[in-house]
Amino acid sequence: MVEGSGDVEEIEAFLENWLGEHVPMRDCFRLFYRELSTMAGVTLSFSARPGVSYSLRARHDKLVGREFFAVIDVIDDEPDNRWFSVCFYQDMITDPEERGECIPGGLAGGDGYCFDLHGEDYDLAGYLVARLREALATAARCFAV
């Protein structure tokens, strides 16, 4: 579920206005968005700051003490060369392939992992979908901090 109809419209407009016929980053964002929007108990919010970033945040209705379990930032400092920073709280996921960067205190004051996605890296995108599912499972267990 997306927080408000304005958020859905904003996300859809963002995707529609992402120029180019084959834009791997747009395809990855669409993959993440669709994955999150089908998850039970999940609410999404979207914040657009053109020229800076577009942020998609996922929250589970059983999550306690945190605003979200995942955040997907589309970095927009070069609109023709956008990239992602996908972040999770460190205690909500594992990183078995050690692909993430630890960010002590850098995720809303908590320790986190961020994964930067540049270009056509569908392998990493699949890995991140698995992390989204893992974070959801942790959040759904009434995670309290």
- C-beta separation of 28 from 36 below 8 A: no
Taking the model in full, what pTM does it have?
A: 0.90
Q: What is the pLDDT of residues 99-121, one digit of tens each?
A: 999 999 989 899 999 999 998 89
Burial class (CB in 10 A: 0-12, 13-18, 19+), 115: buried
Q: What is the pLDDT of residues 3-39, one digit of tens each?
A: 444 588 999 999 999 877 668 899 999 999 999 999 9
| CATH topology (fold) of 5-140 | Aspartate Aminotransferase, domain 1 (3.90.1150)
